[in-house]
Structure 1
Amino acid sequence: MLLRKADELSLLISRLEPVRSLEEMNEILALDKDRRLVIEMIGSCSYVIEWLETGRRPGSRRGIERRAGYQREILTDPAKLPTSSRLGNESHASIEETEVSRFRLEAALRGLTERERSCYMLAHGECYSFAEIAVLLNISKSSVGTYMTRAQRKVADNVSFLILVG
């Protein structure tokens, strides 16, 4: 139906083509504007139909379900992770202590499961909210809360153990 309407408008424009007056020019411009609108509607409908038929966004080479490994990775800068002063150790004087606290934090993070580590690093290292983490990791918001509670407890226990041992 949209294709027929676009053809009709094109025929009307071609019939009025030798412009002789300002009124004819305004009429042609109005018809051309309508024809462009109909062509945009055809493009939008084609886009939606292709999306529904293929199950993925038109023009994408692969769907979201087939992402490459580098697209699934969530990179975290270790410098953005909390220092030991946030984890209970109040001394924070020299570079040497900073290196020791970084070592303690890395050792504490090794005791976490992969999911707990991902949640902890996204929350504390990248400052994501629980809702954003849930979307990124494809889990529920309550699961993120559970993982965070476990991770914080394990990190606090591991850091205090490392402080006693070290």
Structure 2
Amino acid sequence: MEFNRITDLGPATIESYSETRRMLLRTANELTVRIGKLEPVRSLEDMENILTLDKDRKLVIEMIASCSYIIEWLETGRRPGNRRGIERRAGYQREIPTDPDKLPMVIHTAMPQETGQEVPKESRFRLEAALRGLTERERNCYTLALGESYSHAEIAALLSISKSSVGTYMVRAQRKVTDNIGSMIVLVG
């Protein structure tokens, strides 16, 4: 009958893991010495004992490797083997490329859909007030990007302009819309 000894290792600190690793190293050394004493193999029983001790030794060595891994993680503050933490990686290393066609469509319930519903008069007034002062090109770029969810490249292809021009028009349009919304006065009565 074999008994397992349960040891309270205390809090997870570098010191406690280092002490556990030292204890495991001593145990692995003792198992190696015991295997050495049983060699050369003279009987089947000796072979079974050596195999059992070797199995135990391999388990202890795996435990030592786990302790070493955790100690390195606690000392450096990052996963062992990584040169940089996730916060210092390049964008392509932090992000997961995703096909936009596979993302779920977001439908805004505030605006009527293509079901033939009329836009309420108040919403139409606010929208026209917000878009007031935009040039035709700025209005087209702004509504295609934010209203129809087109990318800058798609808008550039649709309007036969460059992508950088789309970005410029978007910045100008956003600035004007922000100014218009900030100065909007709603009269009640």
Larger helix percent: 1
Structure showing greater relative contact order (alpha-carbon pairs closer than 8 Å, 6 or more residues apart)? 1
Q: TM-score by structure 1 length?
A: 0.50
Indicate the structure (1 or 2) with the bigger Cα radius of gyration: 2
Q: TM-score by structure 2 length?
A: 0.44
